[in-house]
Structure 1
Amino acid sequence: MDATTPLHVVCPHCGTTNRLAADALARAPDCGRCHRALFTGVPVALDEAGFRKTIGKSDLPVLVDFWAPWCGPCRAMAPQFEAAARELEPHVRLVKLNTEEAPSLSAAMNIRSIPTLALFAGGREIARQPGAMGAADIVRWARAHLPR
């Protein structure tokens, strides 16, 4: 992808779809509407509507952690997923989806166990990995499945 190719990036704060050049990712871009940072190095917690918009409108790959608050392995993986966000952003958006708050989406996505990681690109799921992972393994797995 050319450095000046426009990308669509959904703001994690207000949901606005921002258009920016690919080379702007390295310059800590802000949202055109709310003026907050588009990337914070922390996974974004999304509801069903936010998930659908982020997956459907973002030109960046999106790595989703399907989890639940009662799940011990999910809680253990949370700091690892956060560490992976610091390494993968701004080239991959990391998001968390609480399956207890979005049961119909979880069913539609065929989430059978948690935690489950799913990687999306171009609005489509391209890879899935069930089970808790460490930060280095999350980063390695995501990079291995990213479109070239």
Structure 2
Amino acid sequence: MPGSLKLTCHDCGSVNRVPAEKLGAGPKCGVCGAKLAEGKVHEMDLATLEKSVKADDLPLLVDFWAPWCGPCRMMAPEFAKAAQALAPDVRLAKIDTHSHPDAAIRYNIQGIPALILFRNGREVARLAGARPAAQIEAFARQKSPA
């Protein structure tokens, strides 16, 4: 792991530089004060997603979902559990494809829920369908080794 990591704040979109050894200490955004690697799932829009994919040094696992999707709603608590388990090594976020249909088009989402793992500015893996937390964790760890 490098001496410092770049992390995009999922609240304000600012890119922050965080010392790698301080990652587990709850670093905060220098602009808005939001926690950067707290083990929670953050809702985001397409612009913040694209910025985070391009800039971040940590893997980002994104859940593409919609509020009308029953399996998506059923998986939400499991995704939140996985976020806690994977922190601070992998950050988890979600994007509502109903409110942000451009995200579904941009990332060629054929069905939801759909998980995409990004690392080093590119997509590294996809997983379709609702999954329990253990499968989400295993997928993220297997596809984004440290």
> How would you bin the TM-score normalised by the shorter chain?
over 0.9
Identify the residue that residue 135 of structure 2 maps to in structure 1: 137
| Residue 101 of structure 2 corresponds to residue 81 of structure 1 | no
- Structure 1 equivalent of residue 94 of structure 2: 96
Matches within 5 A, 1:1-148: 1-2=1-2, 5-148=3-146
Equivalent pairs, count: 146
Runs of 4+ in 1 over 4 A off after TM superposition: none
Report the CA distance between 1:110 and its aligned residue: 1.0
Q: Give RMSD over aligned pairs.
A: 1.2
Q: Give the deviation of 1:6 after TM superposition.
A: 1.3
Letter in 1 for 2:144: L
Contact 1:121–1:147 (CA<8 Å) still a contact in 2? Answer: no
Please report how far the alpha carbon of residue 130 of structure 1 lies from its aligned counterpart in structure 2 after TM superposition.
Answer: 0.3
> Matched residues, percent identical?
47
- Runs (5+) with no aligned partner, structure 1: none
Q: Could you list the runs of 5+ residues in structure 2 that have no partner in the other structure?
A: none
Aligned residue identity for 1:74: C
Superimposed CA distance per residue, residues 85-108 of structure 1 (whole angstroms, 9 cap, x where no aligned partner) = 001111111000111122122112
- With the length of structure 1 as denominator, give the TM-score of the two structures: 0.93
The residue type paired with residue 101 of structure 1 is: S
**Equivalent-residue separation in structure 1 for 2:116 and 2:142 (angstroms):** 13
Worse overlay, 30-39 or 114-123: 30-39
Deviation at 1:74, TM superposition (A): 0.2
Q: Could you tell me whether the CA contact under 8 Å between 2:39 and 2:91 is conserved in 1? A: no
After superposition, the C-alpha distances for 1:38-78 in whole angstroms (9 at most, x for unaligned) are 13321110011111111111111000000010000000000
Residue pair 1:63, 1:120 contacting (<8 A) in 2 also:
yes
